[in-house]
């Protein structure tokens, strides 16, 4: 993949988070890598390069950072090879020196690449690391809390920032896709109900026919017995 202008990258995004927010970081990583971009947007040329079908690979540090003053070589290499940075923001992230260093390093390496803030707890003043906003470059912020943008709209904000498309268009396409999925499920349910109704009607008809044939058989038997007597 490339980050516009033919600059090669290894990861679509790097997720930076406090290890107090490991569960949230893991959940966000899983959602991003499983997300399928609406078909009509795939391949469109943007400032981030062509819109991909899938967002992966997404880098998330799975190990505790070393007890040292410097970031690990793996983390440095991943930051260098990432097209965007997602910062999982919370009071724990604001206090984390590692999150602050990852933001600083990413911005020093890629001053023109997007930095996206995913707020999962608290308010920006208490949850955004000081290095997240430097006055000239405010991050694109998505409040994943139910009191903010909400889990779904907030997530789509991050997707829009990663692939470089307008949020309104992404929301519209995503809603259309969800509507088609709901319509398909509803159609399948209705087809199932019709099939069940047909089977029930057939079963009732067969039962009535069997009862009619049994009545006729009983009449014949009764007639024969009468004749014999």
Query: pTM of this prediction?
Result: 0.73
Q: What is the 3-state secondary structure (H, E, C) of the chain?
A: CECCCCCECCECEEEECCHHHHHHHHHHHHHHHHCECCHHHCCCEECCEECCCECCCEEECCCCCCCCCCCCHHHHHHHHCECCEEEEECHHHHHCHHHHHHHHHHHHHCCCCCEEEEECCCCHHHHCCHHHCCCCCCCEEEECCCCCCCHHHHHHHHHHHHHCCCHHHHHHHHHHHHHHHHHHHHHHHHHHHHHHHHHHHHHHHHHHHHHHHHHHHHHHHHHHHHHHC
Report the share of the chain in percent with pLDDT over 70. 77
pLDDT digits (tens, 9 = 90+) for 197-221: 777 777 777 777 777 777 676 666 6
Query: Quick one: pLDDT at residue 151?
Result: 94
Which pair of tokens denotes residue 109? 């390496």
- Which sign does the torsion angle of CA 126, 128, 129, 130 carry? negative
More confident residue, 80 or 183: 80
Asked whether residue 67 carries a pLDDT value surpassing 80, the answer given is: no
Query: Quick one: pLDDT at residue 198?
Result: 74
């Amino acid at each position: 993949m490339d980050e516009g202008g033919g600059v090669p990258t290894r990861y679509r995004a790097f997720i930076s988070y406090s290890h107090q927010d490991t569960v949230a970081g893991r959940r966000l990583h899983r959602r991003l890598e499983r997300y399928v971009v609406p078909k009509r947007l795939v391949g469109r040329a943007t400032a981030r390069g062509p819109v991909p079908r899938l967002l992966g690979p997404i880098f998330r540090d799975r190990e505790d950072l070393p007890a040292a003053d410097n970031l690990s070589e793996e983390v440095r290499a991943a930051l260098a090879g990432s097209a965007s940075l997602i910062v999982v923001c919370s009071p724990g992230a604001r206090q984390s020196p590692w999150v602050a260093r990852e933001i600083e390093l990413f911005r020093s390496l890629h001053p023109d690449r997007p930095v996206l803030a995913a707020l999962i707890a608290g308010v920006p003043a208490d949850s955004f690391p000081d290095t997240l906003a430097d006055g000239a470059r405010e991050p694109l912020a998505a409040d994943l809390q139910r009191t903010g943008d909400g889990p779904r709209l907030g997530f789509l904000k991050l997707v829009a920032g990663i692939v470089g498309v307008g949020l309104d268009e992404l929301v519209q396409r995503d809603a259309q896709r969800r509507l088609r999925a709901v319509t398909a499920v509803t159609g399948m349910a209705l087809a199932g109900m019709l099939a069940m109704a047909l089977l029930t009607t057939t079963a009732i008809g067969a039962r009535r026919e069997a009862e009619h044939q049994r009545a006729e058989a009983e009449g014949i038997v009764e007639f024969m017995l009468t004749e014999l007597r």
